[in-house]
Amino acid sequence: MTFRQISFYISACFALVVFGILLFFLQEWKRAAMAGAVFFVVSYLIISTILEKTINDRIHNLYKLITNLKLGKDLKEALGPYRPENPIAEAEQEVSAWANQKISEIGRLKDQAKFRKEFLSNTLHEFKTPLFAVQGYIESLQDGMLEDDPAMAMNFLTKASRNIDRLSYLINDLDEIGKLESGAVVLNIERFDINDLINDTIEYLEDRSSTANIKLKMANKTTQQIFVKADKKKIQQVLINLVENSIKYGKSGGTTTIRTSPLFEQILVEVTDNGHGIEEKNLARVFERFYRTDKSRSRDIGGSGLGLSIVKHIVEAHQQSVHVRSTEGIGTTFSFTLQKAKTAAG
């Protein structure tokens, strides 16, 4: 209800009361009606003016304050003065929308605080494990193992070297994710043949897969070129991380297959293994930093625990999507899309 409507109803009530009193005392209908009409007009003007000055202006100032806080001073000034017809209703809507926005922001801040806490805890844990291991090996060597048992000393040095490598991977991967999230990494978009890049990746990881007794192959063996537009080095990093992940968690004697498929304006790339698979409850979290579905086995395998998170950041930096599907005991498929490029150059 607007202030004019409120003023009208209040004045009408007063006018009816005055009309009834005058009619009772004067016993003359016309004079009482005229006096009631005059009283209605005067009271309406007085009441509407009072409401306008004492309440409406204050609510209008409150509305301007809310608008100022929501939009910012510069933007508000750019919009110019605005006087709503019904400031009470609009102020109520603004406050309600603002409250909901703040509740949502508080929820996001709580989630971010929880994420930062978990991330810090996981980061410290990931650093402490290899660091303490190296410290233990060095202390054993300092206690005279080099002279007492040279063979065991070399074994300890080898293990210390592996843990230092793990620390190095962790630092490099954390730096990579930080750059991707901050936008410091500028993508070098170019046109290249994705099939050719997949073959290069298979050759690069062939020794590692042979050691794990896992076969790498490309599903669509063809000489046909499939061109995409992306950062070639970053996409190779995505492929390497996904194939390495399939090797780490695959079964001995298993196979990792890479497949490309056209999807309208995109190319779908799938990396499929017939390994142990991932429980359904864990699928939504596999791209989280340091998240491991099998922590004890993952520690033995090594790595930073950031490979899949880096994959997600790189693919999303290309404004594309990455997905995972898996069945326990059958295998896992990671898939991502790339923008298709024209077959002919130019």
pLDDT at 197: 94
Specify burial of residue 86 (Cβ count, 10 A radius: 0-12, 13-18, 19+).
middle
pLDDT at 114: 72
- Residue 270: CB partners within 8 Å, gap ≥ 6? 257, 258, 259, 260, 261, 333, 334, 335
pLDDT at 201: 94
User: Taking the alpha carbons of 335, 337, 342, 345 in that order, is the dihedral positive or negative?
Assistant: negative
Average pLDDT per consecutive 10 residues, the chain (346 residues; last block may be shorter): 71 78 73 78 78 67 65 49 59 73 81 70 74 85 77 85 81 79 82 93 92 89 83 94 90 92 91 89 82 56 72 92 91 94 64
Cα–Cα distance for residue pair 200/212, rounded to 1 Å: 19
Answer yes or no: are the C-beta atoms of 133 and 160 closer than 8 Å.
yes
pLDDT at 2: 64
The C-alpha angle 276, 222, 267, rounded to 5 degrees, equals 65
Count of beta carbons in the 10 Å neighbourhood of residue 172: 12
Answer yes or no: are the C-beta atoms of 295 and 302 closer than 8 Å.
no
Answer yes or no: are the C-beta atoms of 131 and 167 closer than 8 Å.
yes
| Encoded tokens for 324 | 């995972």
Instruction: Return the bridge partners of 231, or none.
Output: 189
Cα–Cα distance for residue pair 57/51, rounded to 1 Å: 9
- Report the phi/psi class of residue 220: left, alpha or beta, with left for phi > 0 and alpha for psi in -120 to 50: beta
pLDDT at 76: 46
- pTM, full prediction: 0.60
Domains (range + CATH), the chain: 3-85 (no CATH), 116-182 (1.10.287.130), 190-340 (3.30.565.10)
